[in-house]
Amino acid sequence: MKSLFALALLASSSSAIAASIGPEHQLYKRDLATSDPSYPSPWMDPEADGWEDAYAKARAFVSQLTLLEKVNLTTGVGWEGEQCVGQNGAIPRLGLRSLCMHDSPVGVRGSDFNSVFPSGQTAAATFDRILMNRRGYAMGEEAKGKGVTVLLGPVAGPLGRMPEGGRNWEGFSPDPVLTGVGIAETIKGIQDAGTIACAKHFIGNEQEHFRQVGEARGYGFRIAESLSSNIDDKTMHELYLWPFADAVRAGVGSVMCSYQQVNNSYACQNSKLLNDLLKNELGFQGFVMSDWQAQHTGAASAVAGLDMTMPGDTEFNTGRSFWGANLTIGVVNGTVPEYRIDDMAMRIMAAFFKVGKTIDQPPINFDFWTSDTYGPVHWVAKQGYQQINYHVDVQADHGVLIREIAAKGTVLLKNTGVLPLSKPKFVAVIGDDAGPNIRGPNSCSDRGCDDGTLAMAWGSGTANFPYLVTPDAALLAQAVADGSRYESILTNYAPAQTRSLVQQANVTAIVFVNADSGEGYINVDSNEGDRRNLTLWRNGDDLVKNVSSWCSNTIVVIHSTGPVLVTDWYDSPNITAILWAGIPGQESGNSITDVLYGKVNPSGRTPFTWGATRESFGTDVLYTPNNGAGAPQQDFSEGVFIDYRHFDKADAPLIYEFGYGLSYTTFEYSNIQVQKSNPGTYTPTTGTTAAAPTFGNFSTDLNDYVFPSNLQYVYQYIYPYLNTSDARNASQDPHFGQTAAEFLPPNATDSTSQPLLRSSGKSTPGGNRKLYDVMYTITADITNTGSIAGDEVPQLYLSLGGPDDPKVVLRDFDRIRINPGQTSQFRATLTRRDLSNWDTTLQDWVVSEYPKTAYVGSSSRKLDLSVVLA
Ligand code: NOJ
């Protein structure tokens, strides 16, 4: 039997260690940002809106559980212990199989016969709530069809503070309102389909560099602790927490805490983040799961608000856990209060029931670790040989939706009139981004390469393509159907041949280029997840410049994970059109063909700003540690001024602003009207919670927790059992004998009734109900002044009016189909939250006295209409 280890009950903040070791250049601890403590950890509210039934079902179930079974719910079985990327312990006595926690935000990862959807960022570019919701629903269906319990997405962290951030494409947009809509609609879709969604990564997870100590060592840096994202209270509320409030309000079942530290306390044991912001203020009723190896303490993380550890071992394949047996001991000896383990179990089971699941779950029918049909169900142990892959086809007709989303998420950045194409005489397609990866679309593990067309970026946020329609294949088929001449050169490195092709008469040259990025555990061409620059990859800039110097009708298509620098070439008269096609997924070629040929009239809007230079963005990834061997410190000193808010404030040079995008028709805006509602004044929440409930009881005799003699031990598997009934030996804890009060923070084990926060709801996930009161309704008329039907994306911006406020902030938008000559009405609302700032003294949202102006227009800089809000 494995031996238990002493890592469990360390309560000390690791940042204290970080600040005391290391060479010069290390900052003094007193100079580092700190995170306030917040205890005790809030327990579930039986009356929370939308959770009442789930709570009742969870209570009925959890009340039957033994302590060991509750611990099993909270603790993963270890890396590669079962079939999914993470699974917890089963409760066979009551017929509950292990829950499957599985990636990704674009499809079922590492499986087969599943779809690959456009990225969150591309979905955001549609500015279309219905498509975002349908995408979520389809992904939820596919996950469910494979036996996934929790789909590990969608993403609002990274938000996109830095354009170089490797995982920005997994999320939606650096604008919190657009991301808030994206994450909420996706969650509703996923959960309506019967799968639990997981809003991740909570919070401040804006770059890949230094998110994990071991990973950093892999690229040459020895640091003792992960990066600290130092975020002030106002910025936290007005920017990074905003979309998570929308996620909680949408009823999200789980939240994943992130790898890095926030204000020098690890996100998965940061009581300010988990207890205070997420559970108290936002009223989150689901469970918090750690990112994979993001847990660093046992009892400390339990009382700070963590509910489930993934994948369960301290680090991959150690065979030891901070929880598991150590959590069993911790509860028995009173270090971790009983209500806390009960609350963890309640939260997990309530999320389970909330999405309509029943205890008799269909089995998991795929295996993440191998595509073989038969193999060991416990992968690392090589134990339990059986059928593990059933190759279930879950795609349904999702390809149609994927094609539509990617087309509608394509942004037409420039068009001198050459588009849409209509039976062009001769099409020349240039660039390796138009063609296949000749080794196969799934040949690079977790898509960690940039070979062939970029339809998915890299990391855990990926899935295997069932097929990949390349731009070359789709454009060739279109050309054949049209009777056009067609030639493609699917490399960026054939200048002579390219020149001789595109110099010919009647050519429409379409150049495909890209810029890739991904998750920090994979390095592609010296990009450690984060991009190391904002230029095009694989000599793309030279390719564009060359082709456009030889051909006066050059169309450029960009696949990328964020903005790239187009300054050197975008205004060349020979470049007749530019399109950003995002990260489109499996139907890539069909989607871009639909747009180029006008089968879809483009209406995507860029979900980020395209700065003129790298420096113009005002923020950048921290690529080199700045605190000696201590935790690298990243100060979010720009506050809420990222992306367009920064460009507006600094008047920094840009090429295409947030919200911008062209159509094949034209629109005119007129007749702005405002209507004030009277929802009454804001009422801060008062009162207290009930005392913490407990469900069931447990024995304090450690003999009852010893590994059962009739159970076969699986190598490296994490169990809730002890290897001896001698507590000191079972835990091997250096703190053994100390009481909780001696090493846990004050109030950490308090189970008495607690005051409600004024900004929190009374049983209203998302915060105080009054924050979502509609204060103003704004309407405007939009007329299609062109000759073809098209979708317009009217946007409502607000000036909050204060000296520290951004010039304007996005607050609402819609996507409206309008026929030529017709006028439609855009209707948007402003809630109390929309009009408020976070008051750090009051700890609440407040509408300032500054005059507020609403603007309506087609981008963050084209705001034709405005009205002062009285
Ligand atoms: C780490 C990633 O940060 C997270 O997004 C993912 O869900 C887990 N690994 C599991 O693969």
DSSP track, 497-508: HHHHHHTSTTEE
Residues of the chain with CATH 3.40.50.1700: 409-663
Is 291 catalytic? The answer is yes
Dig out the tokens for 51 from the structure. Answer: 């959770």
Residue with tokens 């998965």: 268
Superfamily of domain 52-96+254-354+697-760: Glycoside hydrolase, family 3, N-terminal domain (3.20.20.300)
Chain segment 413-456, per-residue pLDDT in tens: 999 999 999 999 999 999 999 999 999 999 999 999 999 999 99
Top CATH class, 669-679+773-869: mainly beta
Which ligand 1 atom sits closest to the C-alpha of 198?
A: 7
Q: How far is the CA of 688 from the centre of ligand 1 (A)?
A: 36
Dig out the tokens for 605 from the structure. Answer: 């809007």
What proportion of the chain, given as a percentage, has pLDDT over 70?
97
What is the separation, in whole angstroms, between the first and last Cα of the chain?
72
Q: Is 70 exceeded by the pLDDT of residue 7?
A: no
Which pLDDT score, from 0 to 100, does residue 774 have? 98
Nearest C-alpha to atom 1 of ligand 1 is from which residue?
292
Per the residue annotation, which of 128, 175, 276, 291 is the catalytic one?
Answer: 291
Q: How far is the CA of 46 from the centre of ligand 1 (A)?
A: 31
Q: CA 258, CA 725: separation in Å to the nearest integer?
A: 35
Dig out the tokens for 743 from the structure. Answer: 């090493």
Chain segment 824-862, per-residue pLDDT in tens: 999 999 999 999 999 999 999 999 999 999 999 999 999
Q: CA 649, CA 638: separation in Å to the nearest integer?
A: 11
Q: How many residues belong to the chain?
A: 870
What sections of 623-753 are H helices per DSSP?
644-650, 727-731, 740-743
Which pLDDT score, from 0 to 100, does residue 26 have? 80
What does the pLDDT average to over 152-161? 98
Residues of the chain with CATH 3.20.20.300: 52-96+254-354+697-760
Residue with the bigger pLDDT between 300 and 26: it is 300
Nearest C-alpha to atom 11 of ligand 1 is from which residue?
460
Chain segment 67-91, per-residue pLDDT in tens: 999 999 999 999 999 999 999 999 9
Q: Are strands 228-230 and 196-202 parallel, antiparallel or unpaired?
A: unpaired
Q: CA 229, CA 237: separation in Å to the nearest integer?
A: 15
Nearest to 411 by CA among 222, 777, 660, 219: 660
Nearest C-alpha to atom 8 of ligand 1 is from which residue?
292
Q: CA 267, CA 257: separation in Å to the nearest integer?
A: 6
Which ligand 1 atom sits closest to the C-alpha of 155?
A: 5
Which pLDDT score, from 0 to 100, does residue 743 have? 78
Nearest C-alpha to atom 6 of ligand 1 is from which residue?
460
Which ligand 1 atom sits closest to the C-alpha of 211?
A: 3
Q: CA 345, CA 324: separation in Å to the nearest integer?
A: 13
Q: How far is the CA of 311 from the centre of ligand 1 (A)?
A: 10
Q: How far is the CA of 245 from the centre of ligand 1 (A)?
A: 21
Chain segment 508-566, per-residue pLDDT in tens: 999 999 999 999 999 999 999 999 999 999 999 999 999 999 999 999 999 999 999 99
Q: How far is the CA of 643 from the centre of ligand 1 (A)?
A: 26
Chain segment 735-786, per-residue pLDDT in tens: 777 777 777 999 999 999 999 999 998 899 999 999 999 999 999 999 999 9
Taking all residues of the chain, what is their mean pLDDT, rounded to a whole number? Answer: 95
Residues of the chain with CATH 2.60.40.10: 669-679+773-869
Scored b (16 or more CB within 10 A) or e, 783-806 reads bbebeeebbbbbbbbbbbbeeebb
Q: How far is the CA of 215 from the centre of ligand 1 (A)?
A: 14
Pocket of ligand 1 (CB under 6 A): 85, 103, 152, 200, 291-292, 460
Dig out the tokens for 486 from the structure. Answer: 């067609």
Q: CA 206, CA 201: separation in Å to the nearest integer?
A: 9
Q: What HEC string does 737-797 produce? A: CCCHHHHCCCCCCCCCCCECCCCCCCCCCCCCHHHHCEEEEEEEEEEECCCCCEEECCEEE
Nearest C-alpha to atom 5 of ligand 1 is from which residue?
460
Chain segment 364-378, per-residue pLDDT in tens: 999 999 999 999 999
Chain segment 188-232, per-residue pLDDT in tens: 999 999 999 999 999 999 999 999 999 999 999 999 999 999 999
Which ligand 1 atom sits closest to the C-alpha of 104?
A: 7
Which pLDDT score, from 0 to 100, does residue 737 have? 74
CA–CA distances in Å: residue 369 to residues 80, 137, 373, 486, 747: 7, 26, 11, 42, 43
Backbone dihedral angles phi then psi of residue 494, each to the nearest 5 degrees: -130, 65
Banded pLDDT at 12 (limits 50, 70, 90)? very low
Banded pLDDT at 141 (limits 50, 70, 90)? very high
Architecture of domain 409-663: 3-Layer(aba) Sandwich (3.40)
Which ligand 1 atom sits closest to the C-alpha of 461?
A: 5
Backbone dihedral angles phi then psi of residue 353, each to the nearest 5 degrees: -75, -30
Q: Is 70 exceeded by the pLDDT of residue 1?
A: no
Which pLDDT score, from 0 to 100, does residue 21 have? 41
CB 419 within 8 A of CB 557: no
Nearest to 85 by CA among 248, 333, 256, 222: 256
Q: Is 60 exceeded by the pLDDT of residue 686?
A: yes
Which pLDDT score, from 0 to 100, does residue 11 have? 35
